[in-house]
């Protein structure tokens, strides 16, 4: 076994997989490279849920040359019949000599079975090459497949003093063009985008991806406890994208019927005056929405953070200070009495986005 070669080809498989991020729905992104005698003879990636997996595409390209070859795949080959036949059987039929896997399948129902099946047929299997890279690439899938709850990424844009708008409500534009372009790519990479009704009333956004970014438009989710959403709002009148409104049990029945007649899906989430966000996440998971980009205002961001429902945080900071006691901030909630109780971020990464700064991390919730 040549570790350097294994990492080289696995990194290529990961790069191929990354190109399809956002296209596979609740399925993982997977890449595959088939190598024989130092030559790449097949490459493939999973392009869309319900279509051929990465291994199938790569082995089709390799053809008869796949016999005796090494198959590099970023996720454990499946061993069960789902929307497509098991990839393990395709690898076995191709008579591959060796399979190198980055990470095991986190699905409790299938985890380890693909690796075991290949080894039963005498195929040499190595596991764990660039495993962390594969795990991070499929962090959304990993959460959904094990919890049936969507992976939630919070994205905000604020000034250095933490303001997402001025005291008059003006927010165009907090950050520059590069950061805004990255956000549209983020939208493409999530199955849904979620905002609060305050954002819709203030900005009347379309909540889509820009034409300049090759992308799939995410489902629009609006948290609107009492159904204040106007029928004239662009998220209502534009029927090209699915729109879901999360409401409480106190919402007016007549308004619900009007929205539904306009093509909006209204989902009741709890019987209290406000939407129960945990119930909302469970119901969205049942709809097979596996990932959400949260672009809320301070109240929704704070409520989601307090409920422990945010998995990843991406904070874009513009090198600006706007001030204003009444200017809205990134998070609005009661907060903690002691600094020791604050929610900390782990795996923190700081990058430039044009002239802006992006801080990414994963919140650690104290039990």
Give me the active site residues, please. 55
Q: Can you list the alpha helix ranges (DSSP code H) found in 123-251?
A: 131-137, 139-147, 177-188, 197-203, 234-237
Beta strands in the chain (DSSP E): 31-36, 39-45, 70-75, 98-103, 124-127, 151-159, 192-196, 219-223, 243-247, 265-268, 291-294, 312-318, 344-353, 356-364
Find residue 194's DSSP bridge partners: 221, 294
CB atoms within 10 A of CB 110: 17
| 158: nearest Cα among 328, 317, 321, 352 | 317
| 189: nearest Cα among 215, 212, 208 | 215
Q: Which DSSP string do the residues of 102-141 spell out, in sequence order?
A: EE----TTTTTHHHHHHHHTT-EEEE-TTHHHHHHHTHHH
The H helix count followed by the E strand count for the chain is 12, 14
Cα–Cα distance between 353 and 367 in angstroms, integer? 34
CA distances from 96 to 6, 75, 80, 118, 325 (A): 16, 17, 19, 10, 66
DSSP secondary structure letter of residue 163: B
Cα–Cα distance between 88 and 123 in angstroms, integer? 11
* Tokens, residue 2: 């040549």
Q: What count of Cα atoms within 13 Å lies in the side-chain half-sphere of residue 181? A: 10
């Amino acid at each position: 076994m040549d570790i350097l070669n294994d990492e080289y080809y696995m990194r290529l498989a990961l790069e191929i997989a990354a190109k399809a991020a956002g296209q596979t729905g609740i399925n993982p992104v997977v890449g595959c490279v088939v190598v024989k005698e130092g030559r790449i003879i097949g490459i493939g990636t999973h392009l869309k849920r319900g279509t051929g997996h990465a291994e199938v595409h790569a082995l089709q390209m390799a053809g008869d040359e796949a016999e005796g070859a090494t198959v590099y795949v970023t996720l454990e080959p499946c061993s069960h019949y789902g929307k497509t036949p098991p990839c393990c059987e395709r690898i076995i039929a191709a008579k591959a000599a060796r399979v190198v896997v980055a990470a095991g399948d986190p699905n409790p129902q299938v985890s380890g079975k693909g690796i075991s099946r290949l080894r039963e047929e005498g195929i040499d299997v190595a596991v764990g090459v660039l495993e962390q890279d594969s795990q991070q690439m499929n962090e959304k899938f990993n959460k959904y497949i094990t919890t049936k709850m969507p992976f939630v990424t919070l994205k905000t844009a604020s000034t250095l003093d933490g303001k997402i708008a001025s005291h008059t409500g003006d927010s165009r534009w907090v950050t520059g063009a590069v950061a805004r372009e990255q956000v549209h790519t983020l939208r493409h990479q999530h199955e849904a985008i979620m905002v609060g009704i305050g954002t819709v009333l203030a900005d009347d956004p379309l909540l889509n991806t820009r034409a300049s970014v090759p992308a799939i438009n995410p489902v629009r989710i609006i948290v609107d406890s009492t159904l204040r959403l106007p029928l004239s709002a662009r998220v209502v009148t534009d029927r090209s994208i699915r729109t879901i409104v999360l409401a409480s049990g106190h919402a007016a029945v007549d308004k619900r019927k009007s929205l539904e007649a306009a093509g909006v899906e209204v989902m009741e989430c709890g019987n209290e005056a406000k939407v129960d966000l945990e119930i909302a996440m469970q119901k969205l998971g049942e709809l097979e929405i596996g990932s959400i980009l949260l672009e809320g205002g301070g109240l929704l961001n704070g409520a989601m953070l307090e409920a422990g429902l945010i998995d990843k945080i991406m904070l874009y900071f513009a090198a600006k200070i706007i001030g204003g006691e009444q200017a809205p901030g990134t998070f609005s909630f009661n907060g903690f009495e002691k600094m020791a109780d604050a929610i900390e971020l782990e795996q923190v990464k700081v990058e430039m986005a044009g002239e802006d700064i992006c801080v990414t991390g994963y919140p650690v919730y104290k039990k």
